Amino acid sequence: MIATSSPRSLWLAGVFLGALTVAAAAQQASPSPLPPGSPLIGQPDNEAASKLRPQVAPPLATSADKLPIAKLKVPQGFNIEVYASGLNNAREMALGDKGTVFVGTRLVDKVYAIVNKDGKREVKVLASGLYRPNGVAFHNGTLYIAELSQVSKIDNVEDHLDDPPKPTVIYDKLPKDEAHGWKFIAIGPDNKLYVPVGQPGNNVLHDDAHGQIRRMDLDGKNDEVYALGVRNSVGFDWNPENKQMYFTDNGRDWLSEDVPNDELNRITKKGEDFGAPYCYQGNIPDPEFGWGHSCSEFVAPVGLMGPHAAALGMRFYTGNMFPKSYRNAIIVARHGSWNRTNKFGGDVVVVHLDKDGKVKDIEPLVTGFLQDNKYVGRPDDVMLMKDGSILISDDWNGAVYRVSYGKSKVAAQ
Amino acid sequence: MHKTSIIAAFALALLASSVNAETVAERAVTCFACHGEHGTSETENTPSLGGQQAAYALIQLFMFREKLRTFDPMNEITKSFSDDDLKAFSDFIATLPKPQVPTEASDAARMQKALAIINANHCNSCHKPDFSGSDNVPRLANQREDYLTKTLREYKDNTRHGYDGTMADVMGSVTSEQIPDLAYYISRVK
Read out DSSP for A147-193? Answer: -SS-EEEETTGGG-SSSPPPPEEEE------STT-----EE-TTS-E
Instruction: Read off the pLDDT of each residue in A120-138 and give the average, rounded to a whole number.
Output: 97
Question: Least CB-CB distance to B109: which of A14, A33, A39?
Answer: A14
- Chain B positions in Cβ-Cβ contact with residue A177 (cut-off 8 Å): 165, 169
pLDDT at B74 > cutoff 70 = yes
pLDDT at A147 > cutoff 50 = yes
Percent of chain A with pLDDT over 70: 89
Q: How far apart are CA A349 and CA A276, in angstroms?
A: 24
pLDDT at A28 > cutoff 80 = no
Query: Tell me, what's the pLDDT at A31?
Result: 35
Q: Is the preceding omega at residue A379 within 30 degrees of 0, hence cis? A: no
Query: Tell me, what's the pLDDT at A162?
Result: 95
pLDDT at B127 > cutoff 70 = yes
A28 has a chain B CB within 8 A of its CB: yes
Distance from CA of B1 to the nearest CA of A (A): 33
Q: Crossing angle for the helix pair B179-188 and B108-121, nearest 10 degrees? A: 110
Alpha helices, H only, B108-188: 108-121, 123-127, 145-156, 166-171, 179-188
Q: Which residue has the higher pLDDT, A396 or B122?
A: A396
Query: Tell me, what's the pLDDT at A409?
Result: 59
Interface contact B62-A59, CB threshold 8 A: yes
Interface contact A34-B121, CB threshold 8 A: yes
Instruction: Read off the pLDDT of each residue in A38-58 and give the average, rounded to a whole number.
Output: 82
Interface contact A53-B126, CB threshold 8 A: yes
- Chain A positions in Cβ-Cβ contact with residue B125 (cut-off 8 Å): 40, 43, 50, 53
Give the phi and the psi of residue A99 in degrees, each rounded to 5: 95, 0
A178 has a chain B CB within 8 A of its CB: yes
- Buried b / exposed e over A23-59, threshold 16 CB at 10 Å, is eebeeeeeeebbbebbbbbbbeeeeebbebbebbbbb
Query: Tell me, what's the pLDDT at B9?
Result: 53
pLDDT band at B112 (very low <50, low <70, confident <90, very high): very high
Question: Least CB-CB distance to B120: which of A25, A59, A107?
Answer: A25
B54 has a chain A CB within 8 A of its CB: no
A125 has a chain B CB within 8 A of its CB: no
A108 has a chain B CB within 8 A of its CB: yes
A26 has a chain B CB within 8 A of its CB: yes
The secondary element (H helix, E strand) that includes residue A320 is none
- Tens of pLDDT along B48-64? 999 999 999 999 999 99
Interface contact B112-A33, CB threshold 8 A: no
Report the chain B residue with the minimal C-alpha distance to residue A40: B122
- Tens of pLDDT along A189-215? 999 999 999 999 899 898 999 999 999
Question: Least CB-CB distance to B83: which of A28, A56, A60?
Answer: A60
The distance of Cα A356 from the centroid of its chain, to the nearest Å, equals 26
pLDDT band at A292 (very low <50, low <70, confident <90, very high): very high
Question: Least CB-CB distance to A39: which of B110, B137, B169?
Answer: B169
pLDDT at B153 > cutoff 90 = yes
pLDDT at A396 > cutoff 70 = yes
A6 has a chain B CB within 8 A of its CB: no
Instruction: Read off the pLDDT of each residue in B74-98 and give the average, rounded to a whole number.
Output: 97
B75 has a chain A CB within 8 A of its CB: no
Query: Tell me, what's the pLDDT at A34?
Result: 60
Percent of chain B with pLDDT over 90: 77
Instruction: Read off the pLDDT of each residue in A238-262 and give the average, rounded to a whole number.
Output: 97
pLDDT at A216 > cutoff 60 = yes
Angle of CA points A38, A40, A41, to nearest 5°: 75
pLDDT at B141 > cutoff 50 = yes
Query: Tell me, what's the pLDDT at A222?
Result: 98
Question: Least CB-CB distance to B177: which of A1, A29, A177?
Answer: A1
pLDDT at A1 > cutoff 80 = no
Q: What is the mean pLDDT of chain B?
A: 90
Query: Tell me, what's the pLDDT at A214?
Result: 98
Report the chain B residue with the minimal C-alpha distance to residue A20: B113
Instruction: Read off the pLDDT of each residue in A165-192 and give the average, rounded to a whole number.
Output: 97
What three-state secondary structure class fits B166? helix
Q: How far apart are CA A85 and CA A94, in angstroms?
A: 16
Closest CA to A185 of A194, A175, A177: A194
pLDDT at A38 > cutoff 90 = no
pLDDT at A33 > cutoff 60 = no
pLDDT at B2 > cutoff 90 = no
- Tens of pLDDT along A230-249? 999 999 999 999 999 999 99
Of the residues A1, A6, A20, A21, the best mutation for testing chain B's interface (the one with the most B CB atoms within 10 Å of its CB) is A21
Q: What is the mean pLDDT of chain A?
A: 91
pLDDT at A30 > cutoff 80 = no
A109 has a chain B CB within 8 A of its CB: yes
- Chain B positions in Cβ-Cβ contact with residue A35 (cut-off 8 Å): 120-121, 173-174
Query: Tell me, what's the pLDDT at B19?
Result: 47
pLDDT at B7 > cutoff 70 = no
Cβ–Cβ < 8 Å for A282, A275: yes
Percent of chain A with pLDDT over 90: 82
Interface contact B119-A29, CB threshold 8 A: yes
- Chain B positions in Cβ-Cβ contact with residue A56 (cut-off 8 Å): 59, 136, 163-164
Q: How far apart are CA A112 and CA A170, in angstroms?
A: 20
- Chain B positions in Cβ-Cβ contact with residue A22 (cut-off 8 Å): 112-113, 116
Query: Tell me, what's the pLDDT at A21?
Result: 38
Distance from CA of B107 to the nearest CA of A (A): 9
Q: Report ipTM for this prediction.
A: 0.86
B22 has a chain A CB within 8 A of its CB: no
B80 has a chain A CB within 8 A of its CB: no
pLDDT band at A53 (very low <50, low <70, confident <90, very high): confident
Distance from CA of A145 to the nearest CA of B (A): 18
pLDDT band at A46 (very low <50, low <70, confident <90, very high): confident
pLDDT band at A17 (very low <50, low <70, confident <90, very high): very low
Of the residues B173, B181, B182, B185, the best mutation for testing chain A's interface (the one with the most A CB atoms within 10 Å of its CB) is B173
Q: Give the bridge partners for A307, in sequence order.
A: A261
Q: How far apart are CA B190 and CA B186, in angstroms?
A: 9
CA-CA-CA-CA torsion sign (B87, B88, B91, B96): negative
- Tens of pLDDT along A65-75? 999 999 999 99
pLDDT band at A61 (very low <50, low <70, confident <90, very high): very high
Interface contact B174-A35, CB threshold 8 A: yes
The least confident of A24-33, A34-43, A96-105, A365-374 is: A24-33
